[in-house]
Structure 1
């Protein structure tokens, strides 16, 4: 099966007062039709920046400086703005992180949905309203609320409305950027179940960006763990989270409290992420890694395949069990 989305060697830089900040550095991943991919990692690791780059919606001081983003073989990095407008919302759409601010507060939600469709497709207002009503029902909202203003909706209802807005042009790829932010646990569960149902019903390809590893574990076929602007590890979700092959992934998983065992202490990753204006020259996780070896501070680790469909950016990815056991490593990479 061919890839619907292919990201290759993507680099994103921001101009700051302190100099150029490499928010995303040489990341690559693919997405097949109907597949779901989770992007996880700490705040500031580049997850949301990646999503905005896929939409060509970076802020003014940000730019893609290297790499390709291919949607059905079409490179949107090299495409003109007019070409990107035709792709955006129709081929790829985004559910923005904060539903409270994603909707225009002075326009009725239905009018915003109609505008999104009529801007991209030659349909009448009446046809657009019919589709908006149908999608409102799909996301669990009453069509009678279509012409309400955003302030008349609860937080969970706003999030459903934002998802409905993203679906108006029937995109094939949906980016969900922290879709449960600022919602209570009941609303979070409802939104995740909604995304799972919509993915199945419409055959969507989904990229879920989240701090919540449990949500990614439940919803996504594959996971990519990001750290300091790079993908540290990628692979099938269950295999990657149950048997990590990178110290950062292992630390993230260990920091999640178990619902089965008594909690006496909480595990954490010591230290702070690096400064991306002046990042470490070798392994970016080495200053925080409890298993770091001399080579980790000297040579950038390559992304290596540790099993079919699994990759890790660690010098010792293929000897990981030996590394974390603290035993002597026979063959140290050079």
Structure 2
């Protein structure tokens, strides 16, 4: 096995009218060969920005301002444009959130797949098209549809085509950025099951980015919970979600409806995320935290080792159960 992806103290800044916004602040994690990691958190927490930073696909006003991203020993942050082009698609690839905008609407999908393979592996066009047909079959699409345009595909089919595009060069690491967005529940289930199958068939290391904890729980071996640009909790998925040692993780889990429990009320996380142009100097979750103590607004919490496999960015990670939460409001389920 061994570490295939190592992200160390990653920082991403955006220039805005209000000043510099640090969307990702000191994120560190690793990924073993063949392992799957889920990045979860509410919208705006930095999940997708982290993924784009790994491949250096940030918008013009964004930049990686610090840290390392090493894939199989290659530092993509320090890589030249030529070196980066060699790594994209072959070392690391991404399934974008919006399948329609990820595909060129005026090119046949087969040509888009073949172009990527010809560009990155310099194979003959006929060989590239044969490979595209193989990948189409792997993702559950008929090779006869290769010469169709994106608008001729349904939403679920477009998502499968985007997955085929990401896999065409057999990458080592696959990033899936909210791959079930805008799909109905049946198509969502199919896409998640396909990701699991492709991970096994291709020997992929997978990072699934989602705000849907249930999707990550079914798909990933490990989970990293993000809040306000930082990882606040990380560990094996089941143990981390069922035995959360950070109040934010507990809030996310409590806000999910259950098929097996009373759903007369759903817990909510009060308030909203901080302004990352001027983030709190201490704990970023403290203003919303039902367990907050004076130290939480005075000192930034360290990342605490809960055990050999879990860590939490909370002053009270080891004795959270001993604190009494303050009264919280609840949203009544309709």
TM-score range, shorter chain: over 0.9
Q: Secondary structure at the match of 1:263?
A: coil
Aligned: 1:25 with 2:25: yes
Aligned: 1:276 with 2:268: no
Q: How do residues 168-317 of structure 1 correspond to structure 2 at under 5 angstroms?
A: 168-317=168-317
Residue aligning to 1:108: 108
Residue aligning to 1:10: 10
What's the CA shift for 1:325?
6.5
Q: 2-side partners of 1:48 and 1:306: how far apart?
A: 27
Q: Secondary structure at the match of 1:309?
A: coil
Residue aligning to 1:332: none
Q: 2-side partners of 1:74 and 1:133: how far apart?
A: 31
Q: 2-side partners of 1:140 and 1:71: how far apart?
A: 29
Q: 1-side partners of 2:242 and 2:324: how far apart?
A: 15
Residue aligning to 2:96: 96
Residue aligning to 1:86: 86
Aligned: 1:74 with 2:48: no
Are the counterparts in 1 of residues 291 and 325 from structure 2 also a CA contact under 8 Å?
no
What's the CA shift for 1:2?
2.1
Q: Secondary structure at the match of 1:318?
A: coil
Q: Secondary structure at the match of 1:317?
A: coil
Q: How do residues 34-45 of structure 1 correspond to structure 2 at under 5 angstroms?
A: 34-45=34-45
Q: 2-side partners of 1:221 and 1:25: how far apart?
A: 24
C-alpha RMSD of matched pairs (Å):
0.9
What's the CA shift for 1:262?
2.4
Q: Secondary structure at the match of 1:59?
A: coil
Which has the larger displacement, 312-321 or 148-157? Answer: 312-321
Residue aligning to 1:329: none
Aligned length: 326
Q: 1-side partners of 2:157 and 2:165: how far apart?
A: 12
Q: 1-side partners of 2:176 and 2:165: how far apart?
A: 12
Q: 2-side partners of 1:260 and 1:319: how far apart?
A: 28
Q: Secondary structure at the match of 2:299?
A: coil
Residue aligning to 2:330: none
Per-residue deviation, residues 42-72 of structure 1 (Å, max 9, x unmatched): 1000000000011111111000111100111
Residue aligning to 2:124: 124
Residue aligning to 1:331: none
Per-residue deviation, residues 265-302 of structure 1 (Å, max 9, x unmatched): 11110000000001111000000001100000010000
TM-score by length of 2: 0.96
Q: 1-side partners of 2:45 and 2:137: how far apart?
A: 36
Q: Secondary structure at the match of 2:6?
A: strand
